[in-house]
């Protein structure tokens, strides 16, 4: 575990695993970010289930796997998902949803959000981890293909 203090170039991301383990209401919050159309589509659906979703533009029926994917592939891409009026930590969180949760540093976020990188960094490194926003550890070994013989 690195003890290096994060700086404005340290990449962050939404650590969904951490968030899911540490906040019981994470799915309620994710749901609340869905666009009205998808809120309705998912209103009777449990977490992690696939639903049939009718594309409003093409009238095509598509299977959609779960709220998180729908949110990131559709709802987060709607205009005004992140606006100038969005509170900063919330704007940071939403920006990761918009960009597919690619790691971004406080400097990257500063360019996107037009807010000072130092302020963003201070928010991200505060005493309370907000919705799984944590430093991205690229050096972490992937827990796959470990138990194969
Ligand atoms: Zn949507």
* pLDDT tens-digit map of 37-71: 999 988 887 766 666 767 777 888 766 558 888 89
Give the residue, 105 or 50, on which the prediction is more confident: 105
The fraction of the chain above a pLDDT of 70, given in percent, is 83
pLDDT for residue 79 is more than 50: yes
pLDDT for residue 136 is more than 50: yes
Question: Own/partner pairs for 15-23, CB < 8 Å, 24+ apart?
Answer: 15/132, 15/133, 15/134, 16/68, 16/101, 16/132, 17/132, 18/129, 18/132, 18/134, 19/131, 19/132, 20/132, 22/129, 22/132, 23/131, 23/132
Sequence spans of domains, the chain: 12-34+67-135
pLDDT the model gives residue 66: 80
104 CA distance to ligand 1 middle (Å): 24
131 CA distance to ligand 1 middle (Å): 20
In the structure, ligand 1 is a single-atom ion and the residues with CB under 5 Å from it are 35, 38, 74-75
Give the residue, 84 or 14, on which the prediction is more confident: 14
Residue 138 has which token pair?
């690229």
13 CA distance to ligand 1 middle (Å): 22
pLDDT for residue 4 is more than 90: no
26 CA distance to ligand 1 middle (Å): 18
pLDDT for residue 35 is more than 90: yes
123 CA distance to ligand 1 middle (Å): 28
């Amino acid at each position: 575990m690195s003890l290096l203090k994060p700086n404005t170039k340290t990449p962050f991301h939404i650590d969904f695993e951490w968030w899911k383990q540490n906040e019981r209401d994470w799915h309620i919050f994710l749901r609340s970010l869905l666009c009205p159309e998808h809120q309705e589509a998912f209103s009777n659906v449990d977490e992690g289930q696939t639903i049939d979703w009718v594309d409003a533009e093409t009238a095509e029926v598509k299977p959609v796997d779960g709220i998180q994917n729908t949110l990131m592939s559709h709802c987060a891409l709607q205009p005004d998902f992140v606006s100038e009026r969005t509170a900063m930590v919330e704007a940071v969180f939403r920006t990761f949803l918009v960009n597919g949760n690619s790691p971004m540093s406080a400097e990257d976020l500063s360019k996107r959000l037009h807010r000072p990188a130092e302020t963003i960094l201070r928010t991200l490194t505060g005493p309370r981890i907000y919705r799984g926003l944590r430093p991205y550890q690229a050096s972490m070994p992937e827990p796959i293909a470990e138990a194969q013989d």
